């Protein structure tokens, strides 16, 4: 089904204001999860509500392992769970740095990089 921009905004409003759950709205209006996300984002933008960053899987990183901290606006837009995940990642990177290495990549593409030139084997 095709909805007008005002109808999409209203569908997003119903979910944000908790008149309907996401699943109820998706079934009622016969739309998918991606459309629902777009309708919610469209409503929030029209209402001036800040939208948070897209949710990423645990295998993805919100930012790279660079030494530059993320912008405060990035943290302000995150949910509680995303902030906790970032804190855990920061702590893990700190502990790795103390041991003398860092990790780049994820999963099978994970690479361990030594921060000093010493041989790790004695």
In total, how many domains does the chain have? 2
Same domain, 59 and 37: no
pTM for the structure as a whole: 0.44
Positions of E strands within 8-118: 101-104, 111-114
Same domain, 111 and 78: yes
pLDDT at 97: 81
What is the extent of the structural domain holding 36?
Answer: 5-47
Same domain, 72 and 32: no
- 103, 112 contact by CB (below 8 A): yes
pLDDT at 80: 86
Same domain, 43 and 58: no
List the pLDDT tens digit at each of the 122 positions of the chain: 689 999 999 999 999 999 999 999 999 999 998 999 999 999 988 888 877 655 544 444 444 444 445 677 777 777 888 889 888 988 988 888 888 878 887 778 878 788 776 655 65
Same domain, 42 and 58: no
């Amino acid at each position: 089904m095709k909805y007008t921009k005002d109808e999409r905004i209203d569908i997003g409003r119903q979910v944000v204001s908790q008149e309907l759950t996401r699943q109820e709205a998706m079934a009622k209006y016969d739309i998918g999860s991606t459309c629902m996300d777009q309708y919610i984002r469209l409503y929030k933008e029209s209402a001036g509500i800040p939208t948070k960053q897209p949710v990423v899987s645990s295998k993805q990183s919100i930012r790279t392992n660079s030494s530059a901290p993320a912008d405060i606006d990035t943290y302000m837009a995150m949910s509680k769970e995303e902030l906790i995940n970032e804190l855990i990642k920061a702590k893990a990177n700190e502990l790795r740095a103390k041991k003398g290495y860092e990790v780049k990549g994820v999963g099978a593409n994970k690479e361990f990089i030594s921060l000093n030139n010493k041989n790790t084997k004695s």
